[in-house]
Amino acid sequence: MTNDRHYSPVDRLLLQADMALRTLLPFSGQPSRPSPAIVQNETELDAEQARHIAGLMRINHTGEVCAQALYQGQALTAKLPEVRAAMEHAADEEIDHLAWCEQRIRQLGSQPSVLNPLFYGLSFGVGAVAGLISDRVSLGFVAATEDQVVKHLDEHLQQLPPADEKSRAILEQMREDEAQHATSALEAGGLRFPAPVKLGMTLLSKVMTKSTYRI
């Protein structure tokens, strides 16, 4: 692993800019794992089913954009090197999810949300502020965020048509990874957020899901 002492603040900002471009530009993120959908059979979907599934996958894709931005913002301001390394590792895994969702969206004849740059910027700012407050708050924010993501994935899995094995395989693997991220963040000393904070996060997430389902 490369030592963080080799990077100046300017270097790290340039790396963040590069990561932002690779997150937001189409087909820029290269997954380290093949999509779980590859081994699943493609089934015929009617136009309404394809539109609805594409909307769900677009929500999940934007969620991964937000997660990528959140982790990068936290990595930029994390106090401890090991916390920074953990954030960067989680961001690498989120790239897999980002690529898998985009691939599936394209297969369904649709495209990612045009609002992704906006949500990336907001999430990066939140992550950077959390990191500035403390590593414990930063890790706690990861755990709370991933809990929200798991709930969304559970809802989407229930809405998928039984025949859509490709989308289901992707969401099930994402759910497993996100749950592990939440557990790891708490085990690393993350703060358990109180219910009112989680409620506020839920309300904000609804804004994202409602807007990106269609656009």
User: Which residues are annotated as part of the binding site for Fe cation?
Assistant: 64, 94, 97, 146, 178, 181
Q: Is residue 97 a contact partner of residue 78, using CB atoms and an 8 Å limit?
A: no
Q: From CA 71, how far away is CA 86, in angstroms rounded?
A: 9
The DSSP letter of residue 214 is: T
Contacts of 15 (CB under 8 A, 6+ apart): 7
Sign of the alpha-carbon dihedral angle for 34, 84, 28, 213: positive
Q: Is residue 75 a contact partner of residue 88, using CB atoms and an 8 Å limit?
A: yes
User: Which residues are annotated as part of the binding site?
Assistant: 64, 94, 97, 146, 178, 181
Q: Is residue 113 a contact partner of residue 212, using CB atoms and an 8 Å limit?
A: yes
Structure tokens at 40: 């699943």
Q: Of 64, 63, 62, 85, give the one whose Cα is nearest residue 74.
A: 85
147: helix, strand or coil: helix
